[in-house]
């Protein structure tokens, strides 16, 4: 079985697409980029592998890449700690696209590609490598500036109540005007290469909460996490400090499969958050089997369903749709609030209504935007919602999210 996470890359006439992996392969080393010139392309600790990594949390043969007719997929080789693609642990051969992130132990690799044309292929690849190194240097400089100046924008995406379309919460999104790190993908790519992804994630939550003073009073603020963060040791203590500094702002912490693997840990995190009046949300729910186990053993306050799953609702059979609707109903009966992510069209809104979702988030109702301060008013009333929507004056055209 092959799980498709992205689009296929194809060869063009008189040219060849060479897949690449970019990342920091050893701690405190310069980021590198390697071409994938063999299939299978083995990754692990063994020195005879195409990509040999020395980290003790990586298996001898951890994973392998297979290319067939320009299509690249990854397979976990029964590794101890698993292989993750875009934060999701893979259970089967998984197709890869340019820009995907592969996590193998504590090493993060980005999938890329270059085009080779006949005898100029070595020169073309070298040019591409130098360009990539230049971009990485710019991103690294931008990251340093971003962390020093804490220059994150007050960018939020509204979450809407499906019954009346009113705004009932906001998710903070990492955005900046700093060259090389304007969006979350570039920010965290540079941070992971420098080993500062936890520092960046914590700064995003702190600055995002500070920016939330521009939001209507009483509106919940959804804050994201990074898979590398120790939740009980670092994230919960930070949320305790933020709660003390912003006692009237409802806070919701989003965690996902890359950050949570054991139901016992989920229960402990939720209990610790509830002690400080912070709610818990599962993000990208439905992306893997582990999420169902988490839902059964350790329920959360909110469950945000994966955008890809919401898109798939347009193509499922009547029987599959009824099954999914029963799942939503069961989740709601357990007391969790359901959120559909990535809702982009009126047709998708209608499907969400038929399914029984409580809340929706996506371009069909509002885009992420740089917010400005507005006067406090009663949360949720039409006047406040209209003012909030009117003040989204600087629309963010990039579709990235943290």
pLDDT score recorded for residue 220: 97
Q: Which of 175-179, 249-253, 317-321 has the highest mean pLDDT?
A: 249-253
Q: Are 392 and 369 in contact (CB under 8 A)?
A: yes
- Lowest mean per-residue pLDDT among 61-70, 84-93, 166-175, 382-391: 382-391
Q: Which of 7-11, 91-95, 232-236 has the highest mean pLDDT?
A: 232-236
CA distance from start to end of the chain? 29
- Please state which CATH number belongs to domain 156-376: 3.20.20.450
**Stretch (H or E) spanning 360:** strand 359-361
Give the CA angle between residues 186, 95, 43 to the nearest 5°: 75
Preceding peptide of 162 cis, ω within 30°: no
> How far is 155 from 143, CA to CA, in rounded Å?
18
pLDDT score recorded for residue 396: 33
Q: Give me the percent of the chain exceeding a pLDDT of 90.
A: 35
Q: How confident is the model at residue 367 (pLDDT cuts 50, 70, 90)?
A: confident
Give just the sign of the alpha carbon dihedral 262, 264, 267, 272.
negative
Q: For residue 281, what are the β-bridge partners?
A: 254, 302
pLDDT at 243 over 90: yes
Which whole number is the average pLDDT over 167-184?
91
pLDDT at 339 over 80: yes
> How far is 132 from 37, CA to CA, in rounded Å?
19
pLDDT at 257 over 50: yes
> How far is 25 from 348, CA to CA, in rounded Å?
42
Q: Do domains 17-118 and 156-376 have the same CATH topology?
A: no
Q: Are 190 and 181 in contact (CB under 8 A)?
A: yes
pLDDT score recorded for residue 259: 55
For helices 346-355 and 318-333, the axis angle rounded to 10 degrees is: 60
Report the C-alpha dihedral over residues 180, 183, 188, 194, rounded to 10 degrees.
20
SS3 state at 241: helix
Mean pLDDT of the residues in the chain = 79
Which whole number is the average pLDDT over 229-255?
95
SS3 state at 280: strand
Domain ranges across the chain: 17-118, 156-376
pLDDT score recorded for residue 129: 44
Give just the sign of the alpha carbon dihedral 137, 142, 143, 148.
positive
Q: Are 61 and 77 in contact (CB under 8 A)?
A: yes
Q: How confident is the model at residue 46 (pLDDT cuts 50, 70, 90)?
A: confident
Q: How confident is the model at residue 12 (pLDDT cuts 50, 70, 90)?
A: very low
Q: Give me the percent of the chain exceeding a pLDDT of 70.
A: 77
Cα 5 to Cα 65, 95, 220: the distances in Å are: 15, 6, 31
Backbone angles phi, psi at 219, to 5 degrees: -80, 130
> DSSP string of 89-110?
E-SSEEE--TT-EEEETTEEEE
pLDDT score recorded for residue 242: 97
Q: Which residue has the higher pLDDT, 222 or 229?
A: 222
pLDDT at 395 over 70: no
Q: Which of 88-92, 99-103, 166-170, 302-306 has the highest mean pLDDT?
A: 166-170
CB proximity list for 24: less than 8 A, separation 6 or greater = 30, 31, 32, 107, 108, 192, 193, 195
pLDDT at 397 over 80: no
- Lowest mean per-residue pLDDT among 251-260, 263-272, 312-321: 251-260
pLDDT score recorded for residue 402: 39
pLDDT score recorded for residue 190: 86
Q: How confident is the model at residue 116 (pLDDT cuts 50, 70, 90)?
A: low
> How far is 257 from 355, CA to CA, in rounded Å?
24
Taking phi first (over 0 means left), then psi (-120 to 50 degrees means alpha), and beta for anything else, what does residue 275 get? Answer: alpha
Cα 185 to Cα 126, 174, 182, 193, 211: the distances in Å are: 24, 9, 9, 12, 21
Which whole number is the average pLDDT over 162-189?
91
Cα 377 to Cα 130, 214, 217, 364, 383: the distances in Å are: 53, 12, 7, 25, 9
- Lowest mean per-residue pLDDT among 128-132, 311-315, 353-357: 128-132
Report the C-alpha dihedral over residues 132, 136, 139, 144, rounded to 10 degrees.
-170
For the chain, the residue count is 402
Domain covering 17-118, topology = Tumour Suppressor Smad4 (2.60.200)
> How far is 197 from 188, CA to CA, in rounded Å?
6
Q: How confident is the model at residue 373 (pLDDT cuts 50, 70, 90)?
A: low
> How far is 67 from 334, CA to CA, in rounded Å?
44
Which whole number is the average pLDDT over 82-111?
88
Q: How confident is the model at residue 294 (pLDDT cuts 50, 70, 90)?
A: low
Q: What is the pLDDT of residues 140-166, one digit of tens each?
A: 888 999 999 999 999 999 999 999 999
SS3 state at 347: helix
pLDDT score recorded for residue 173: 94
Q: For residue 334, which of 297, 289, 287 has the smallest C-alpha distance?
A: 297
Dig out the tokens for 1 from the structure: 């079985």
């Amino acid at each position: 079985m092959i799980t498709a996470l992205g689009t296929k890359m194809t060869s063009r006439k008189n040219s060849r697409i060479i897949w690449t992996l970019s990342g920091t392969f050893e701690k405190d080393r310069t980021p590198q980029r390697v071409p994938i010139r063999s299939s299978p392309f083995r990754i692990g600790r063994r020195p005879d592998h195409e990509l040999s990594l020395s980290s003790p949390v990586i298996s001898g043969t951890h994973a392998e890449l297979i290319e067939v007719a320009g299509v690249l997929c990854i397979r976990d080789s029964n590794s101890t700690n698993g292989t993750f693609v875009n934060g999701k642990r893979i259970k089967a051969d998984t197709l890869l696209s340019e820009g995907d992130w592969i996590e193998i132990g504590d090493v993060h690799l980005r999938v890329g590609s270059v085009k080779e044309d006949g005898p100029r292929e070595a020169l073309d690849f070298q040019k591409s490598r130098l360009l990539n190194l230049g971009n990485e240097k710019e991103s690294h400089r931008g990251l340093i500036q971003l962390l020093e100046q804490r220059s994150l924008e007050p960018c939020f995406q509204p979450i809407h109540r499906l019954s009346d379309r009113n705004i009932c919460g906001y998710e903070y999104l990492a955005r900046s005007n700093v060259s090389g790190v304007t969006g979350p993908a570039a920010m965290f790519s540079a941070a992971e290469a420098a080993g500062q992804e936890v520092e960046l994630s914590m700064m995003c939550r702190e600055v995002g909460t500070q920016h939330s003073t521009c939001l209507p009073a009483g509106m919940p603020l959804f804050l994201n996490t990074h898979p590398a963060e120790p939740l009980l040791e670092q994230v919960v203590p930070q949320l305790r400090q933020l709660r003390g500094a912003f006692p009237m702002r409802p806070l919701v912490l989003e965690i996902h499969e890359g950050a949570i693997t054991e139901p016992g840990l989920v229960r402990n995190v939720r209990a610790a958050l509830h002690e400080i009046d912070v709610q818990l949300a599962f993000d990208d729910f439905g992306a893997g089997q582990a999420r169902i186990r988490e839902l059964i053993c350790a329920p959360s306050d909110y469950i945000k369903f994966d955008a890809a799953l919401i898109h798939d609702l347009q193509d499922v059979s009547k029987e599959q749709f009824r099954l999914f609707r029963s799942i939503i109903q069961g989740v709601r009966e357990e007391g969790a609030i359901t959120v559909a992510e990535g809702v982009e069209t009126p047709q998708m809104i209608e499907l969400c209504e038929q399914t029984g979702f409580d809340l929706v988030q996506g371009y069909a109702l509002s885009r992420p935007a740089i917010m400005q301060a507005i006067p406090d008013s009663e949360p949720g009333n039409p006047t406040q919602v209209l003012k909030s929507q009117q003040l989204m004056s600087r629309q963010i055209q990039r579709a990235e999210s943290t």
